Amino acid sequence: MEHNGVAVKIRDLKMYFARRSGLIERRYVKAVDGVNLDLYTGETLAVVGESGSGKTTLGKTLLRLYTPTGGSIEFDGKDITHKPESELKWYRKVAQIIYQDPFSSLNPFFSVYRILEEPLIVHNVGSQEERKKRITETMHDVKLEPIEDFARKNPHMMSGGQRQRVAIGRALILNPKLIVADEPVSMLDASVRVEILYLLRGLQKEHDISFAYITHDIATVKYFSERMATMYAGRVVELAGTRQVISKPLHPYTQALIEAIPDPDPTNRHRNRNVPAGEPPDLSNPPPGCNFHPRCPFAMDICRGKEPTLEEVQPGHRVACWLHTEYDKPRA
Amino acid sequence: MNNKTILSVENLTLFYRMSNAVVRAVDGVSFSLRAGETLALVGESGCGKSSMANALIRILPRNVHTYSGTVQLDGTNVMQLDDDDFRETVRWKQMSMVFQGAMNVLNPVLKIGDQVAEPLIIHNKVEKHKALHEATDILGTTGLPDDVIERYPHELSGGMKQRAVIAMALIMKPNVVILDEPTSALDLITQANIMNLLKDLKRELSLSYIFITHDLSLASELSDLVAVMYAGKLAEVSDADHVYAEPLHPYTKKLLDSVPTLRTDKKPEFIPGAPPDLSEPPPGCRFHPRCPFAMDICKAKVPELKKQNGDRLVACWLYDKEGRA
């Protein structure tokens, strides 16, 4: 797939959390377990999966909000995997996050102006006048207008959509190169959702930002991302161009996710959806072999014994599934 | 289906009193529902959907300003019952509710079996072991194993908890079940499994559902009828086939246009503006400030829900030509 360079390069990334069970025994929750992923410059990569799939942890780890257990993360060719916080200040400026919940991610005691000024203060950007100009520009960008009115408001005086605009503005104000948006619209009304997504899409193109769009909503992914990675139980199980995946998903889990999503169609009520039962596994004790095999309708013996790796089975289409890789392997 | 009407709501009104305003959350809503049918109540948040559910099952906060109208349930106007009679004869027995965010509905220190059996023991004075037996049955109907009655909520996954909450709503064998965003906190595949369960239960027990959701895609999974609510009033009530194929009210059209679809190439469009503050709704049609077709009359006079194109009901001056004159 053609692209203008790699913004973030993730190799064999592991993020385990220790969880104590009993007095002495320690168990690890393998939230992210061996992920290989490139985020291209200026693209939107959607990371899709159910809760507990590790998609949020992946996003936070690549922002170095966590220190990885293993593997490596490079940004613009620079290794940031284990850099101490004191050497990460430049990264804190270029890499930003938009959280899911605009009701709890904004300081309730700050006005919009102050919320947007905070990153500029922290990073010591510009004089007071320059800051004011930058804040005005940003508020215009995220369409918080009339600017004078909104600058004075506190978060509780605004709707969910408006608050999320503030959160987007806060992420944009330092001219970032990378934004991780973690379910940025899932708390908003359906009618506002697309509005915010169009706004994000427009800003991303205008400022050439690399975007990781973390979501469970494949219907919006189709419109707002170039490529899509499906995560299940800490691993990427499928990775390809978004339309390619949606028109022909190869991994049974991606297939199930797509089958689970209804379109507005009144004939839906006459049929049940063909989705697997059960729920994602306990990540401190994942099943052997392919993590999905206990729920997979096509599970074979090999799936229970050996973990499949992410392989390119069609041009630009990678999948970690024995249905697709077993037969291709001898040829490779 | 030409089943009898099981629920007929007329002019249902629920206003809340705030410190210096009256919030007109449900403002003269009328509709009816036949046995075995599902009515989806859709609209943006803050349009009064959940208030309508609360008004129907009479779970009201203290600051009620006005609560009036008629609710004919199986031939009786239950609005005439006092709170004790309502609790003893209607709630859970004839009409029950599955609440939003089921994960937080269950009592964390009680076993699932005890919680599901509780209404039987309290309302029907059934002996505990018999009640637990019935609870096991109904939990089984919702796809949970027998041993679940001995478990605590934290031992169950989100989907299992939701099944337990559905079982609780069904244990008194009601005819009408209100589902208030029953899958909002669940994962996609779990949501699909729960929707499958609700479809099965509807068929097997011929339940009537009132299905409250903001998601028109999800509404189409269950609904025979769709009622679109905007700012405390119904904008349109039609059978599902017609609403999705040919929406009449401009708000319904806009709402449908805003849905991203997976299987078509239609680009979603958003609705500019936001729903009005229900303490100060705009005069005339409440949608007129956001409506692309607004005329002078829309700003002045409230349109009524009237029959158009056969059995469809719509409250819009575009269709009500006589009223306009």
Whether chain B has a CB inside 8 Å of the CB on A125: the answer is: no
Measure CB to CB from residue B196 to each of A216, A219, A272 and give the nearest one.
A272
Q: What is the CATH number of the domain that holds A132?
A: 3.40.50.300
Residues in chain A within 8 Å Cβ distance of B189: 50, 256-257, 260, 275-276, 279
Cα separation, A67 vs A61, in Å, equals 7
Residue A238 lies inside a defined structural domain of this protein: yes
On whether residue A1 sits in a domain, the answer given is no
Determine whether the interchain pair A190/B216 forms a contact, defined as Cβ–Cβ distance below 8 Å.
Answer: yes
Say yes or no: B158 contacts chain A, CB-CB below 8 A.
Answer: yes
Give the pLDDT score at B172.
93
Is-contact A132 A151, C-beta < 8 A?
no
**Segment B88-94 mean pLDDT:** 92
Q: Report pLDDT digits (tens) over A124-165.
A: 999 999 999 999 999 999 999 999 999 999 999 998 899 999
Neighbours of B306 (CB within 10 A): 14
- Whether A249 and A324 have beta carbons less than 8 Å apart is answered as no
For testing contact with chain B, the best of A145, A159, A189, A258 (most B CBs within 10 A): A189
List b or e across A296-306, with b for residues whose CB sees 16 or more CB atoms inside 10 angstroms.
Answer: beebeeebeee
Question: pLDDT band for position A330 (50/70/90)?
Answer: very low
**CB–CB of B259 and A51 under 8 A?**
no
**Residue A247 touches chain B, beta carbons under 8 Å:** no
Task: Give helix then strand counts, H and E, for chain A.
Answer: 12, 12
End-to-end CA distance of chain A, in Å? 20
Q: Band of the pLDDT at A173, cuts 50, 70, 90?
A: very high
* Partners of residue B190 in chain A, C-beta under 8 Å: 50, 279
Picking from A159, A263, A273, the nearest residue to B263 by CB comes out as A263
Q: Is A96 within the bounds of a domain?
A: yes
Residue in B187, B198, B204, B312 to test binding to A, most A beta-carbons within 10 Å: B187
Structural domains of chain B in order of their starting residue, each with its CATH number: 5-94+174-270 (3.40.50.300), 106-171 (no CATH)
Alpha helices in A146-276 (DSSP H): 147-152, 160-172, 190-207, 218-224, 242-247, 252-260
In this structure, is residue A19 part of a structural domain?
A: yes
Q: How far is the C-alpha of A117 from the C-alpha of A124, rounded, in Å?
A: 10
What is the residue range of A304's domain? 6-263+276-331
Residue-wise pLDDT for B216-256, tens only, equals 999 999 999 999 999 999 999 999 999 999 999 999 999 99
B18 in reach of chain A (CB within 8 A): no
CA triple A60-A66-A71, angle to 5 deg: 95
Dist CA B74 CA B325 (whole Å)? 39
Task: Give the mutation candidate from B187, B189, B214 for the A interface (greatest A CB count, under 10 A).
Answer: B189
Checking if the pLDDT of A331 tops 60, the result is: no
| Tally of domains within chain A | 1
List, for residues A192-237, the tens digit of each pLDDT value.
889 999 999 999 999 999 999 999 889 899 999 999 999 999 999 9
What is the rounded distance in angstroms from the CA atom of residue A229 to the CA atom of residue A245? 9
Higher pLDDT, B180 or A328: B180
Q: If pLDDT is split at 50, 70 and 90, which confidence band does A328 have? A: very low
N residues, chain B? 325
Q: How far apart are CA B299 and CA B294, in angstroms?
A: 8
Residue A270 domain-assigned (yes or no): no
Distance in angstroms (rounded) separating the CA atoms of residues B262 and B260: 7
Can you tell me the distance from the alpha carbon of B40 to that of B249, in angstroms, rounded to the nearest whole number? 16
User: Six-digit token pair at A93?
Assistant: 């400026």
* A50 with B189: Cβ contact below 8 A: yes
- Is residue B259 within 8 A of residue A220, CB to CB? The reply is no
Contact of A246 with chain B, judged by CB distance below 8 Å, is answered with: yes
Query: How many Å lie between the alpha carbon of B77 and the closest alpha carbon of chain A?
Result: 31
Interface of A with B in 1-60 (CB under 8 A): 50-51
- Whether residue B8 lies within 8 A of chain A, CB to CB, comes out as no
C-alpha A106/C-alpha A111 separation (Å) is 10
Q: What is the pLDDT of residues B99-138, one digit of tens each?
A: 887 678 899 999 999 999 999 998 888 999 999 999 999 9
Most B-contacting residue of A143, A164, A191 (CB-CB within 10 A), to test interface: A191
Q: Model confidence over A67-103: pLDDT tens digits?
A: 999 999 999 999 999 999 999 999 999 999 999 888 8
B67: nearest Cα among B51, B84, B46: B51
Q: Identify the band that residue B294 occupies on the pLDDT scale cut at 50, 70 and 90.
A: very high
Q: Is position A271 within any domain? A: no
pTM strictly above 0.95: no
Chain A touched by B153 (CB under 8 Å)? no
Q: Taking residues A257-285, what's their average pLDDT?
A: 92
Which tokens in the block code for residue A303? 């799936």
Instruction: Specify if A178 maps to a domain.
Output: yes
ipTM value, please give it: 0.89
- The answer to whether residue A310 scores a pLDDT higher than 50 is yes
Neighbours of B271 (CB within 10 A): 24
